[in-house]
Amino acid sequence: MKLFRQHWLICGGTGCQAAGSIAVRDALKAEIQKQGLAEEIAVVETGCNGFCAMGPVAVVYPEGIFYVAIEVSDVPELVSEHMLKGRPVARLFYKEPATKSVIPDMMDIPFFAHQKLIALRNRGILDAENIDEYIARDGYQALAKALTEMTPEQIIAEVKTSGLRGRGGAGFPTGLKWEFCQKSPGEIKYVLCNADEGDPGAFMDRSILEADPHSVVEGMTIAAKAIGSHEGYVYCRAEYPLAVHRLQLAIDQAREYGLLGENILDSGFSFDLHIYQGAGAFVCGEETALMRSIEGKRGMPRPRPPFPAVAGLWNRPTVLNNVETWANIPQIIQKGGAWYASIGTEGSKGTKVFALTGHVNNIGLVEVPMGTTLRTIIYDIGGGIPKKHRKFKAVQLGGPSGGCVPEQYLDTPCDYEAIVKVGAIMGSGGMIVMDDSTCMVDMARFFMDFVQEESCGKCTPCREGTRRMLQILERIVEGEGREGDIETLEELAAMIQTSSLCGLGQTGPNPVLSTLRYFRDEYEAHIRDKKCPAKSCVALLDFVVDEAKCKSCGLCFKNCPVSAIEWEKKKPAKIDLSKCIKCKTCFENCKFDAIN
């Protein structure tokens, strides 16, 4: 047996292999050969050490030195220094990670501490693809109660007591809606779920369907019993494949268990559920258009009345609720309406789920008790604005039907009426946080572009009016705004709001109106001074460095993708406009606001 003076144990585990341990091993062997050390030093491949994220790793015996993140280019140094001269290469040593002294408790982290979970109560806890886990979390207990211990009137009374209002945007009292439908005469009635979720930036409904689809199935079945329906549909956009997949599994498993279908839980009541996949038109989230779409027709709204509770899907009495509304129902039946009503404000009960996005540190899905202020959501839960040199400007609620709330109203609570008072709407839960690099005119233009594109075209005010508004907004951000544009926008907005057929047109001008309310000076600056105060509209930027403000830090120079910036240490930067492609990278990187 040969005696080696050193053993190099290279990890050949999957993690290290993925990080290149084989190449390192081969390079080591080759270098050893080259240096004539093959008789003295052995290279051995071992199994996983458990330091996979630091791979490739190696342990050297007899010294017991532990190297991490070795690259092929390190090999010559390792061989000449460590193997030949006996001087271990310290820069590749394993360093104890700077461990946090105490691991925080989840409930000490503001992101989680300020939340209250009802609709999301099973999030991250159960396997959405396994009905048994839902049942183990007391799933379908509420259904059992509703089917065997409650009359339809008692179910409706419980939901009315809870004060639950529709989470799809309009906030109509859910119990009342069910009552109308229950009282509508008819043998055949339908229960529908609106999972169209078209607001840009919103993902509440998708997450609920992905994490806890049975809560929606259970909620809908309870309503079916309350109104006397035996068939229902979930209208879900096809762009949500995982949600559709998990919901379908949930329906199949519920059917297998007899929780959907004939004679549910031996109660004599029958109800079945189907998924209808929509093609993703925003207007198909509007209730009458949604029903048409399920009927196989083009998704266009019709005038109301008659309301769906009287004449809905195939002209039958129908209850339509949003995904989140449905997810609340089992809890309300199980724990009682009074329990639900004990959470929240006078007019808004329970909790609301928001999809928090934009210029905020913690992007994600949050559920808070009604009455929580916007400031708490953005600063405590959301962790505030990520870029230190930026300031909060406004938060957009309710997507294209909603409005923005500026800094001075951040203490507004989540409450349907309080939010309307400051010029926005609760909406379905989209919450887009914007810092001061956002141009409010351009933001309004974005939503108007969306509304204009999604307008179904059936009614003239919405089809033509939104197009005219968009054209004016586009002119303004291009620097071609004229005196009188603001007044024309306001006039068009009022006309579209009052004469459009459906909610899309009626609420479409809201983003423009609310930005005009709080940021009129920005519109004026664009039109009169041809300036964009947020320095966002490219057409209104000069791309010139303000030498007085420039601190010669060189950040713009380092980040410019086309090398259009000249800079030397201690000298202000200069932009070569012949090379500049107006990508705004320099603006975004400048911490001193020195580029105009």
Partner 1 sequence: MLCSGRAKIPQTGVKFREEDMAKLKISDLAKIKEQVTQATSLREGGAQVKVTVHMGTCGIASGARNVLNAVMEELTKSGRKDIIVTTSGCMGLCSAEPLVTVEKAGAEPIKYSHMDDAKMRQVFNRHVLADEVQTQWVLAKGSEQ
Please give the residue ranges that form the binding site for ligand FMN (CB under 6 A).
Answer: 166-170, 172, 194, 196-198, 282-283, 285-287, 320-322, 325, 428, 502-504
**Does 13 sit near ligand FES (CB under 6 A)?**
yes
What is the nearest approach in angstroms of ligand FMN to the Cβ of residue 194?
3
Residues 415-444, mask of contacts with partner 1 (x by CB under 8 A): ------------------------------
Look at the block and give the residue holding tokens 């019993």.
225
What is the rounded CA–CA span in Å between residue 332 and residue 374? 26
169 contact partners, CB below 8 Å, separation of at least 6: 322, 398, 401, 425, 426, 427, 428, 503
Could you say which of ligand FES, ligand FMN, partner 1, none residue 388 binds, taking C-beta under 5 to 8 angstroms by partner kind? Answer: none
Indicate the residue among 50 and 268 with the shorter CB distance to ligand FES.
Answer: 50
Residue 337 has φ and ψ, to the nearest 5°, of -65, -35
Q: Candidates 5, 14, 95, 391: give the one binding ligand FES (CB under 6 A).
A: 14
Which range touches ligand FES (CB under 6 A), out of 11-19, 206-214, 459-467, 580-588? Answer: 11-19
What is the rounded CA–CA span in Å between residue 277 and residue 240? 9
**Does 15 sit near ligand FES (CB under 6 A)?**
yes
What is the nearest approach in angstroms of partner 1 to the Cβ of residue 136?
4
Which of positions 54-93 make contact with ligand FES (CB under 6 A)? 55, 57
Which of positions 497-556 make contact with partner 1 (CB under 8 A)? none
Indicate the residue among 50 and 347 with the shorter CB distance to ligand FES.
Answer: 50
Write the DSSP symbol of residue 185.
Answer: -
**Does 19 sit near partner 1 (CB under 8 A)?**
yes
Indicate the residue among 47 and 258 with the shorter CB distance to ligand FES.
Answer: 47
Q: In this structure, which long-range contacts are made by residues 255-262, counting pairs with CB atoms below 8 Å and at least 24 apart in sequence?
A: 257/131, 259/131, 259/140, 259/143, 259/217, 259/218, 259/221, 260/217, 260/221
Could you say which of ligand FMN, ligand FES, partner 1, none residue 265 binds, taking C-beta under 5 to 8 angstroms by partner kind? Answer: partner 1
Whether the ω angle into residue 62 lies within 30 degrees of 0, i.e. cis, is yes
**Does 384 sit near partner 1 (CB under 8 A)?**
no
Count CB-CB contacts under 10 A for residue 231.
Answer: 17
**Letter for the amino acid at 293?**
S
Residue 576 has φ and ψ, to the nearest 5°, of -90, 105
Write the DSSP symbol of residue 436.
Answer: T
**Letter for the amino acid at 52?**
C
Could you say which of partner 1, ligand FES, ligand FMN, none residue 361 binds, taking C-beta under 5 to 8 angstroms by partner kind? Answer: partner 1
Residue 324 has φ and ψ, to the nearest 5°, of -65, -40
Cα 380 → chain centroid: 18
What is the nearest approach in angstroms of ligand FMN to the Cβ of residue 280?
10
**Letter for the amino acid at 485?**
D
Indicate the residue among 56 and 299 with the shorter CB distance to ligand FMN.
Answer: 299
- Do 327 and 219 form a contact (C-beta atoms < 8 A)? yes
Interface residues with ligand FES (CB under 6 A) are 11, 13-16, 48-52, 55, 57
